[in-house]
Amino acid sequence: MKTTTISLLRQWKQEQKKFATITAYDASFAQLFEEQGLSVLLVGDSLGMVVQGCDSTLPVTVEEIAYHTRCVRRGAPHSLILSDLPFMSYATPEQAFASSATLMQAGANMVKLEGGSWLCDTVKQLTERAVPVCGHLGLTPQSVNIFGGYKVQGRDEIAANQLLQDAQNLEHAGAQLLVLECIPAELARKVTEALSIPVIGIGAGNATDGQILVMHDAFGITGGHIPKFAKNFLAEAGDIRLAIKNYIQQVEESSYPGEEHSFK
């Protein structure tokens, strides 16, 4: 099996080939995802909510992400694995170096961090030290207490312009990938067109280069509030392998996410 790399994702963007990605937290699912063709996997700090049962991502530690990264790497040796830098593990560049070293040594190919232009020095310095970085803008769950809830971001003109500027600054600083979460579809389109790095959306419409879903949302096993952008592919397919195949296919042909999964 060919190994998935960031260069391949960049090639897909140039070829306008859409791609699906998903979160993974353990070896069994990681293996299943890789076998079925999902070979960009995020060990997200969403594990705090969907695996640990916390009510936010804030309690998650670097050691916990490292543990799950090791599990996912064992299951998916050929996948591009992104691992989240959890809350307060990159508040200073020095913290970011130490946290990233732990995650890269656990098997990550790239680290993901949440925030805008204030992170540019950190992104530049991580990249110079051989740590590839994925940015994350829009609804950044680690900032839930600043936002006052899990709310769609970038709705007014000032916030939208700021988000676009942040995205460009992160790319300029060396970020090689960007996640956009819960923003209007039109803003996500603008950002995707403005950047040369691949952009992955979740609740950001279908104009981004790739899509990501929390695996529990894709299989309909999320308790409580189900996000508007989520789709239960398992209910539709009735079989987990077919559900994964359908997710990939619907992203590739741009039928998922539909308007009903997007914000205006």
What would the x/- binding string for ligand KIV be over residues 126 to 165, using CB under 6 A? Answer: ----------------------------------------
Name the burial class of residue 224, with classes exposed (0-12), middle (13-18) and buried (19+) by CB atoms within 10 angstroms of its CB: exposed
Other residues' Cβ atoms within 10 Å of the Cβ of residue 6 = 18
Between 163 and 202, whose beta carbon lies closer to ligand KIV? 202
Which of 4, 23, 83, 122 is close enough to bind ligand KIV by CB under 6 A? Answer: 23
Two tokens, residue 92 = 């200073």
Stretch near ligand KIV under the rule CB under 6 A, chosen from 37-45, 71-79, 242-250, 256-264: 37-45
**Residues recognised as catalytic:** 181
Helices (H), 76-223: 93-105, 120-128, 144-147, 157-173, 185-194, 215-218
Using CB under 6 A as the binding rule, whether residue 44 contacts ligand KIV is answered as: yes
Contacts of residue 200, defined as CB under 8 A and 6 or more positions apart, other chains included, come to: 21, 177, 178, 179, 180, 208, 209, 210, 211, 212
Using CB under 6 A as the binding rule, whether residue 179 contacts ligand KIV is answered as: yes
User: DSSP code of 212?
Assistant: E
Between 2 and 73, whose beta carbon lies closer to ligand KIV? 73
108 and 69 Cβ atoms separated by less than 8 Å: yes
Q: What is the largest CA-CA distance in the chain?
A: 47
Query: How far is the C-alpha of 148 from the C-alpha of 188, rounded, in Å?
Result: 22
Closest approach of Cβ 199 to ligand KIV, in Å? 12
Query: How far is the C-alpha of 165 from the C-alpha of 234, rounded, in Å?
Result: 38
The residue number with the shortest CB distance to ligand KIV is: 44
Q: How far is CA 60 from CA 46, 47, 122, 256, in A?
A: 9, 8, 21, 30
Which of 212, 218, 243, 251 is close enough to bind ligand KIV by CB under 6 A? Answer: 212
Closest approach of Cβ 153 to ligand KIV, in Å? 13
Stretch near ligand KIV under the rule CB under 6 A, chosen from 42-50, 64-72, 154-162, 232-240: 42-50
Q: Determine the size of the site formed for ligand KIV (CB under 6 A).
A: 11
Using CB under 6 A as the binding rule, whether residue 230 contacts ligand KIV is answered as: no
Stretch near ligand KIV under the rule CB under 6 A, chosen from 7-15, 40-48, 87-95, 127-135: 40-48
Contacts of residue 111, defined as CB under 8 A and 6 or more positions apart, other chains included, come to: 82, 83, 84, 85, 99, 100, 103, 104, 126, 131, 132, 133, 134
Query: How far is the C-alpha of 244 from the C-alpha of 219, rounded, in Å?
Result: 9
Closest approach of Cβ 116 to ligand KIV, in Å? 15
Using CB under 6 A as the binding rule, whether residue 84 contacts ligand KIV is answered as: yes
Using CB under 6 A as the binding rule, whether residue 214 contacts ligand KIV is answered as: yes
Closest approach of Cβ 48 to ligand KIV, in Å? 8
- Sites of contact with ligand KIV (CB under 6 A): 23, 42, 44-46, 84, 179, 181, 202, 212, 214
